[in-house]
Amino acid sequence: MLTLTKENFEQEVLQSDRPVLVDFWAPWCVYCRRIAPVLDRMDGQSDVVIAKINIDEQPELAERFGVEVIPTFYLFQNGAHGDKLIAPGSQAQLEDWIAAQRG
């Protein structure tokens, strides 16, 4: 799983040749900790790169993407993202959203 910062975001996400699922989270967020095992299971299972941004350490990125509630997910493809997903209830919901984002 990739840890994103403002220093590596451009290279790892915007310039990636693979889709990147970005999880905006914080260590104090109970729901973020609850969904973390789902991300661990999904990591490496497809061509989608799983990446995390700790909003406490990277507030500029959270602000840049309008993150107000966590966890918030964006799927980046070819340097752009579609609709965000906030606090999915299950792995199935997250996977369905990714499939819909990919078209």
Extract the tokens encoding 73.
């997910």
Extract the tokens encoding 23.
């999880």
DSSP 59-89: HHHHHHTT--SSSEEEEEETTEE---EES-S
Among this protein's residues, is 42 annotated catalytic?
no
Among this protein's residues, is 29 annotated catalytic?
yes
Which of 32, 39, 61, 85 is an active site residue? Answer: 32
Which of 4, 20, 22, 29 is an active site residue? Answer: 29
Q: Please list the active-site residues.
A: 29, 32
